[in-house]
A and B are shown apart, each in its own frame.
Chain A
């Protein structure tokens, strides 16, 4: 009965919209007929604020598919690689998974954070090695933890503006090796030596050498503007929102347990095996380690000592990994015979105070992207939020649930609203799967897309925070089967 009713209203909807979006509507009305389980999903969408986020006169952009290398704890199997090796593995995996002809790809964009100085445009080096056409340009972007989000949205921009039809976007991070430099004084001396022409000049330069010139310079782990490390900021953020150590440990345990379940059930289908030269083939993420609350409670605070609440167990760990997605204009994908996984819809970047609100990006970005898309929190079936720290996720949830915060800091009349936890990061998150800075964004999008297919539902919301006090959110819409 009920189903019948839904069928009818669906059809009437379809008819009403027929003139301007005939192709889309036709497919849409075909969908419920194909299978009853799909009917359920479509029926669920009946209560949505909007049928679809397609916009008139703007190309629909789809993710055909996406892959990632297994995410590994830094210093494990990937430790002898260079970043472009990992990126190449993701690209090869994508080629293999999608069988996209290399010469169709118009452009390649990768995100990365800690740059290997030898391969500063890592996108190009990886693409050449992966066998892409040397006629395909590639560039690298950086935006801290949302670098690959930026790679994807850059791709969206290129396609929407008609510049490209097919773009590969991805991200890579190799924290097993980081550029440790000579000190500035040492570098200056070496450069001066290079320019010196006579022996006397060289000797006079060398005579200025001091032993402390040899002390190395590490890439900054702290925010440049505030000199505060992110873990320290996360601990303060958790304290500001009065989030206890227990709550944080519980959330971390949830993430690990869900990740383990997803891994065991084979849901992490974006992972492609990677034969590491000289080592065994890596087939799965190795940072998932569900523990017990008792065990976790034993850890000492990692940043604010001795009374802080952020520990190694409730933080994301240093990770090596790479990801890549194939993004196309919908008509191109269909013309090539693809069955895309999802639409990439509205997205939003935000930024705020890098000291006290460093990790609150999702709180700011979520309502904005929902409003832009004309959706409400209730319309979202799948939430995929980047988990930098348990405390950060819980702080964002509390901020979204607070009228006071919304009124005093976001200029909103009322709170954003709380994403229901049963729809939230159901296959684990950065805490358990790992967080290779530059590669996480693509993982979030693929997790949202794959979950929409698996769990049913139409809209997914991806959100992430990033160093610099920035944030990102994007709506992923399930591609009708």
Chain B
């Protein structure tokens, strides 16, 4: 459809509407049709972009059909090129505005499906080159183009925007500019590596490209990433979102005119510090040094496991695009990165994360409006915090005033930290905090739609609070148990209505960890599950839904690995060495530190329980080590001592020398042929992976996606490997089975590969992800 948006002047002069349309069609199209009439059919069926002319300003509106977001697909790309060619060739048009009419999204980035459908790096290289050519033409446009940005402007979207002559963004929370390519294991392939440093300076550009961090509009203005801000509007005679986009367009048009008339210059005044920095960076030696420093830092942080950040630094060194020869090396690197295992793993995680942010159980019959949390400990208060800040009315109940006060303070602090970071105003904090009601009794529970208990991990206590709660809550109310290991079915045995009982396993710290593991028993109703998923999604969680069983999915995978951790320590590998082996494999937290963080007592409790259930497969190290640690009060971070010593304000933690005697007393001989650094890493990881696949085999997991998301977001499984299932697909099932067999020979049943894994090894065509 050809977009017709006639200037008011034209409307006024042309009374006959039919004539008007015809006239304009002719005026707009003659030039174009004469030039290439063979393509006019494509013009008439344009679906992603429509454009009209206001005075002498072309307004180009992007709105991809049947999608919540605009992505830089091949169709959008070619339509945009078409339209721009018309703009450039029209004598009537002197400037242009580029805007999205989709609420909350400018362009969210390149079309990932397009990238994923490429089977060779050449294809990806080709895409990157095309985009670069287009953006370069755009950058050199003699008719100024204003990017009017409302909503997410990411990846290729940002690259498009920074190729324009001017940027205006709405000062809305939804307006975020960023280069998240690095999070997908690729690099900005269409010029951001060259244009961003020029625009915002090298330090800020690297920060954006290496962290993938999204920049909010007001900060983008300060950085020089956008030139003007437009305030979001409230209601007028149209819905606010609609009018805000219209207003943004109006403002952008005035700036486009101003730029064409040279009344406005796109250059911005730089501050003294900025000038000095850019001067310093213009000295090649200084620049080299900085690049070197950045590279060192990146190498240290990524442990060489992620190729993309280093490549980003590499290609940023290419001269600023001046001639076509620069395209190739950059695009080739882009193409190569897109084919790496790391990129495939990260893209898989991205897709998985998107899937786990949907409620596949449908909308619950009754939306939870009143939540109640039992227990104001670390978990309970954390759950309350992520609920009240989304506007959910929440009762936080504990049994003593000091315990309750501590929990309330935790919630307040969590919110107040956001005020300090300026992501919340103090007023918003107060309004959120008033959603929280702290109390010591069950008053108000008769109106609760969901109760989440987060009391101590003790079955009798859980039984007691369930019975107490059920005495007061209404029939429809869901009772959810936050536990990391106690089977939900056992908790539900004392329930009058087990169909309303469900597990909601949050991860600590609740406000930081994205994962929520929801556990259903055979009796849990579908609506109860739908309700729990709905609440979890509103709390901003990524959700996996698993079947009930000892340790569910996450704890069950972690436990055999922890058992191996203890064995490795007993075999004489020190905690520091073990930590460095695990982090260099890609785990964000070292294995020994993880035990300290989880809490030694908790680890022992879980290990014992699951050990009873699963027997020899979960054996390995001796629980005696944990027992001795507990008896000495080395409970990990919470008690100040574990494998390490924790002190307030001390950054580099020291080994707890009192552990030496414990480690010495439990020392076991190591087996040299399975004790190389690499073997130690694989002993840990293969036990984890094998158990994860067994969970899928047994039906605890419904999909490999949930297995990967749970492992990465809940347990810190190396993201560069994409989770246990991606790992098997990308690394090869046979290789993993071989490893397992080798360790099985040394240690026995704990390493016996499960049937599903063996099946995959036997049939190389079998993949978890097709």
Determine if B234 and A224 form an interchain contact, defined as CB atoms under 8 angstroms apart. no
Q: B417-433 CB contact bits vs A (8 Å, 1 = yes)?
A: 00000000101000000
User: Which residues of chain B from 245 to 260 have a CB within 8 Å of any chain A CB?
Assistant: 246-247, 251, 254-255
Q: Chain A residues with Cβ under 8 A from B246's Cβ?
A: 242
Q: Determine the distance from Cα of A357 to Cα of B233 in the docked complex, in whole angstroms.
A: 10
Q: Pick the contact of A408 from B235, B254, B255 — CB < 8 Å? A: B235
Q: Determine the distance from Cα of A242 to Cα of B236 in the docked complex, in whole angstroms.
A: 8
Determine if A356 and B235 form an interchain contact, defined as CB atoms under 8 angstroms apart. yes
A136 located at the interface, meaning its Cβ lies under 8 Å from any Cβ of chain B in the complex: no
B272 located at the interface, meaning its Cβ lies under 8 Å from any Cβ of chain A in the complex: no
B262 located at the interface, meaning its Cβ lies under 8 Å from any Cβ of chain A in the complex: no
User: Which residues of chain B from 214 to 261 have a CB within 8 Å of any chain A CB?
Assistant: 228, 231, 233-240, 243, 246-247, 251, 254-255
- With contacts A226-B427, A304-B231, A357-B234 known, is A240 near B254, CB below 8 A? no
- With contacts A226-B427, A307-B251, A307-B254 known, is A236 near B231, CB below 8 A? yes
Q: How far is the CB of A104 from chain B (nearest CB, A)?
A: 46
Q: Chain B residues with Cβ under 8 A from A241's Cβ?
A: 236-237
Determine if A398 and B235 form an interchain contact, defined as CB atoms under 8 angstroms apart. no
Q: Chain A residues with Cβ under 8 A from B240's Cβ?
A: 240, 356
Determine if A232 and B254 form an interchain contact, defined as CB atoms under 8 angstroms apart. no
Count how many chain B residues have C-beta atoms less than 8 Å from C-beta atoms of the other chain.
18
Q: Chain A residues with Cβ under 8 A from B247's Cβ?
A: 239-240, 242
Q: How far is the CB of A237 from chain B (nearest CB, A)?
A: 7
- With contacts A225-B427, A356-B240 known, is A240 near B251, CB below 8 A? no
Output the nearest chain A residue to B246 by Cβ-Cβ distance: A242
Output the nearest chain A residue to B255 by Cβ-Cβ distance: A307
Q: Determine the distance from Cα of A225 to Cα of B430 in the docked complex, in whole angstroms.
A: 10
Q: B342-362 CB contact bits vs A (8 Å, 1 = yes)?
A: 000000000000000000000
Determine if A240 and B425 form an interchain contact, defined as CB atoms under 8 angstroms apart. no
A108 located at the interface, meaning its Cβ lies under 8 Å from any Cβ of chain B in the complex: no
Q: How far is the CB of A287 from chain B (nearest CB, A)?
A: 28
User: Which residues of chain A from 387 to 412 have a CB within 8 Å of any chain B CB?
Assistant: 395, 398-399, 402, 404-405, 408-409
Determine if A405 and B427 form an interchain contact, defined as CB atoms under 8 angstroms apart. no
Q: Pick the contact of A356 from B228, B233, B251 — CB < 8 Å? A: B233
Determine if B237 and A402 form an interchain contact, defined as CB atoms under 8 angstroms apart. yes
- With contacts A226-B427, A227-B425, A240-B243 known, is A404 near B233, CB below 8 A? no
Q: How far is the CB of B77 from chain A (nearest CB, A)?
A: 31
Determine if A240 and B233 form an interchain contact, defined as CB atoms under 8 angstroms apart. yes
Q: Determine the distance from Cα of A224 to Cα of B427 in the docked complex, in whole angstroms.
A: 8
Q: Chain A residues with Cβ under 8 A from B237's Cβ?
A: 241-242, 398-399, 402, 404-405
Determine if B231 and A242 form an interchain contact, defined as CB atoms under 8 angstroms apart. no
Q: How far is the CB of A388 from chain B (nearest CB, A)?
A: 16
Q: Pick the contact of A405 from B231, B235, B254 — CB < 8 Å? A: B235
Q: Determine the distance from Cα of A33 to Cα of B231 in the docked complex, in whole angstroms.
A: 60
A355 located at the interface, meaning its Cβ lies under 8 Å from any Cβ of chain B in the complex: yes
Q: Pick the contact of B233 from A226, A239, A398 — CB < 8 Å? A: A239
Q: Determine the distance from Cα of A398 to Cα of B238 in the docked complex, in whole angstroms.
A: 12
- With contacts A232-B231, A236-B231 known, is A395 near B251, CB below 8 A? no
Q: Chain B residues with Cβ under 8 A from A399's Cβ?
A: 236-237
Q: Chain B residues with Cβ under 8 A from A304's Cβ?
A: 231
Q: Determine the distance from Cα of A242 to Cα of B237 in the docked complex, in whole angstroms.
A: 9
Q: How far is the CB of B756 from chain A (nearest CB, A)?
A: 55
Q: Pick the contact of B236 from A224, A353, A395 — CB < 8 Å? A: A395
Q: Chain A residues with Cβ under 8 A from B234's Cβ?
A: 236-237, 240, 353, 355-357
Determine if B236 and A405 form an interchain contact, defined as CB atoms under 8 angstroms apart. yes
Q: How far is the CB of A15 from chain B (nearest CB, A)?
A: 48
Q: Chain A residues with Cβ under 8 A from B233's Cβ?
A: 236, 239-240, 356
Of B231, B235, B243, B251, most A-chain CB atoms within 10 Å: B235
Q: How far is the CB of A327 from chain B (nearest CB, A)?
A: 36
Of A227, A307, A357, most B-chain CB atoms within 10 Å: A307
Q: Determine the distance from Cα of A8 to Cα of B351 in the docked complex, in whole angstroms.
A: 83
Q: A318-361 CB contact bits vs B (8 Å, 1 = yes)?
A: 00000000000000000000000000000000000101110000
Of A226, A240, A395, most B-chain CB atoms within 10 Å: A240
Determine if B235 and A242 form an interchain contact, defined as CB atoms under 8 angstroms apart. no
User: Which residues of chain B from 711 to 729 have a CB within 8 Å of any chain A CB?
Assistant: none
Q: A206-249 CB contact bits vs B (8 Å, 1 = yes)?
A: 00000000000000000011110000100111011110000000
Q: Chain B residues with Cβ under 8 A from A402's Cβ?
A: 237
Q: Determine the distance from Cα of A384 to Cα of B699 in the docked complex, in whole angstroms.
A: 73
Output the nearest chain A residue to B427 by Cβ-Cβ distance: A225
Q: Chain B residues with Cβ under 8 A from A353's Cβ?
A: 234
Q: Determine the distance from Cα of A236 to Cα of B237 in the docked complex, in whole angstroms.
A: 13
Of B234, B243, B251, most A-chain CB atoms within 10 Å: B234
Output the nearest chain B residue to A306 by Cβ-Cβ distance: B228
Q: Determine the distance from Cα of A377 to Cα of B237 in the docked complex, in whole angstroms.
A: 21
Q: How far is the CB of A220 from chain B (nearest CB, A)?
A: 12
Q: How far is the CB of B597 from chain A (nearest CB, A)?
A: 38
Q: Chain B residues with Cβ under 8 A from A232's Cβ?
A: 231
Of A239, A353, A398, A399, most B-chain CB atoms within 10 Å: A239
Q: Determine the distance from Cα of A232 to Cα of B243 in the docked complex, in whole angstroms.
A: 17
Q: How far is the CB of A404 from chain B (nearest CB, A)?
A: 5
Q: How far is the CB of B268 from chain A (nearest CB, A)?
A: 13
Output the nearest chain B residue to A404 by Cβ-Cβ distance: B237
Output the nearest chain B residue to A408 by Cβ-Cβ distance: B235
Determine if A240 and B236 form an interchain contact, defined as CB atoms under 8 angstroms apart. yes
Q: How far is the CB of A244 from chain B (nearest CB, A)?
A: 10
Q: Determine the distance from Cα of A304 to Cα of B237 in the docked complex, in whole angstroms.
A: 21
- With contacts A307-B254, A356-B233, A356-B234 known, is A242 near B243, CB below 8 A? yes
Q: Chain A residues with Cβ under 8 A from B251's Cβ?
A: 307
Q: How far is the CB of B295 from chain A (nearest CB, A)?
A: 39
Determine if A404 and B238 form an interchain contact, defined as CB atoms under 8 angstroms apart. yes
Q: Chain A residues with Cβ under 8 A from B239's Cβ?
A: 408
- With contacts A240-B243, A242-B243, A307-B251 known, is A357 near B427, CB below 8 A? no
Q: Determine the distance from Cα of A235 to Cα of B239 in the docked complex, in whole angstroms.
A: 17
Q: Determine the distance from Cα of A205 to Cα of B246 in the docked complex, in whole angstroms.
A: 57
Q: How far is the CB of B221 from chain A (nearest CB, A)?
A: 12
Q: Chain B residues with Cβ under 8 A from A395's Cβ?
A: 236
User: Which residues of chain A from 259 to 306 have a CB within 8 Å of any chain B CB?
Assistant: 304
Q: Determine the distance from Cα of A226 to Cα of B246 in the docked complex, in whole angstroms.
A: 24
Q: How far is the CB of A446 from chain B (nearest CB, A)?
A: 33
Q: How far is the CB of B253 from chain A (nearest CB, A)?
A: 11
Q: Determine the distance from Cα of A225 to Cα of B247 in the docked complex, in whole angstroms.
A: 25
Determine if A240 and B427 form an interchain contact, defined as CB atoms under 8 angstroms apart. no
Q: Chain B residues with Cβ under 8 A from A226's Cβ?
A: 425, 427
Q: How far is the CB of B663 from chain A (nearest CB, A)?
A: 48
Q: Determine the distance from Cα of A169 to Cα of B239 in the docked complex, in whole angstroms.
A: 41
Q: How far is the CB of A382 from chain B (nearest CB, A)?
A: 27
Output the nearest chain A residue to B231 by Cβ-Cβ distance: A236
Q: A408-422 CB contact bits vs B (8 Å, 1 = yes)?
A: 110000000000000
Q: Determine the distance from Cα of A237 to Cα of B237 in the docked complex, in whole angstroms.
A: 11
Q: Chain B residues with Cβ under 8 A from A225's Cβ?
A: 427
Q: Chain B residues with Cβ under 8 A from A235's Cβ?
A: 231
Output the nearest chain A residue to B243 by Cβ-Cβ distance: A240
Q: How far is the CB of A204 from chain B (nearest CB, A)?
A: 24
Q: Chain B residues with Cβ under 8 A from A405's Cβ?
A: 235-237
Q: Chain B residues with Cβ under 8 A from A242's Cβ?
A: 236-237, 243, 246-247
User: Which residues of chain B from 382 to 416 have a CB within 8 Å of any chain A CB?
Assistant: none
Q: Determine the distance from Cα of A356 to Cα of B239 in the docked complex, in whole angstroms.
A: 12
- With contacts A240-B243, A307-B254 known, is A398 near B231, CB below 8 A? no
A-B pairs with the 8 shortest C-beta distances? A356-B234, A240-B236, A240-B233, A241-B236, A402-B237, A225-B427, A239-B247, A236-B231
Q: Apart from A240-B236, A242-B236, what 7 extra A-B contacts exist at CB < 8 Å?
A: A226-B425, A236-B233, A239-B247, A241-B236, A404-B237, A405-B236, A408-B239
Of the A-B pairs whose beta carbons lie under 8 Å apart in the complex, a sample of 8, sorted by A's number, is: A236-B234, A237-B236, A239-B233, A240-B247, A356-B233, A357-B234, A357-B235, A408-B239
Binding site for B on A (CB under 8 A): 224-227, 232, 235-237, 239-242, 304, 307, 353, 355-357, 395, 398-399, 402, 404-405, 408-409
